[in-house]
Structure 1
Amino acid sequence: MIRLLLADDQALVRGAIAALLGLEPDLEVVAEVGSGDDAVAAVEQHSPDVALLDVEMPGLDGIEAARQIRERSPVTRVLMVTTFGRPGYLKRALQAGASGFVVKETPAAQLADAVRRVHQGLRVVDPALAMDSLTAGDSPLTPRETEVLQAARDGASVAVIASRVHLSEGTVRNHLSAAIGKTGAANRAEAVLVSVENGWL
């Protein structure tokens, strides 16, 4: 029996995936949670064989949760299951230690098969997303530019962003300007949008 943890902030989606996978004779859902923080805690409590994580969740996002799960429970494999099939997400998830990445439109039988393959130690990636990832290239942003743009996602002022990332306002303006240039955006709001759409944030 392969023991599973499901983490998705949408209860309806989480319940549907649990119900579908629960029909498989060799799969058992042992925990369902709604955030990345809860996923990390549930892995420590239940020691599942495979954790299925959404990317965008409150608190820790799925990618950071994947990193922490792999650090704390190396025997637990991670399969990302997300609505957002963005090339940048795929690269970041694999770098964080995820063994697979599929989109939520994946048919139930294929999802169950992906779980089994990840459990066996294989890597499973949605083919269309893998192709997009190869053609998209890496994020042009430096880690600091990424951090500043992340802090600017809610439209905060330069002063607020500076306090969030512990930099001077002038340095924040420089990073925002560089990020705007690298993303080909007209302003920082557009730079955030371009970066989110590519999965760089």
Structure 2
Amino acid sequence: MSKAGLNLLTAITFYRIATAPLLLLLLWRHELGWFKWLLAVSFFTDAIDGFFARKYNITSIAGARLDSIGDDLTVLVAIVGMLVLKWDFVLREKVILLILCGLFIIQTTLALARYGKQSSFHTLLAKAAAILQAAFLLSLFFLPHPLYLIFYSMAIITALDLVEEAILVILLPRWQADVKGICWIKRDQVQSGR
């Protein structure tokens, strides 16, 4: 693991964490141009740090935890922006949004009960869900009307991801980072004779 590479990825992750309160301030001050562009940069840096971490095999447990915090804060700020700026959309799609919130609460509660901290699996479904979440949330702020095809795709993949992660919490007795998914866990268990 390259120390310089790890430091760069950590700095990118800290950028997302530090930007979250600034984004909320911009939202509160109705500086929507700055809000949407800095939110876009936050989502973009999430993609960059994940790409470089995989490409150069730069991983650490602390980095995985920080990355999850940065991801969650970025999505949370985008959701707050959606609640503030797109309330009509929220009311129209409240059932789907409440289901996703419920699944997130269930998965997080299971992880906290089992591991004493949030999960940081970064499964393939989680990566797909993150891309769709970013695409939908950014389109919501940059375009005049919601893109429902992206919204429904995001909702389905996010729901599947949250269910998979809840099952992984049940299957894995110890906290692990960077788990590809249930199929890989079951394959590894079969190969190891468990």
Report the TM range for the smaller structure's normalisation: under 0.3
Where relative contact order (Cα < 8 A, 6+ residues apart) is larger, the structure is 2
TM-score (norm 1): 0.26
TM-score (norm 2): 0.26
* Structure of greater Rg: 1
User: Whose helix fraction is larger, Structure 1's or Structure 2's?
Assistant: 2
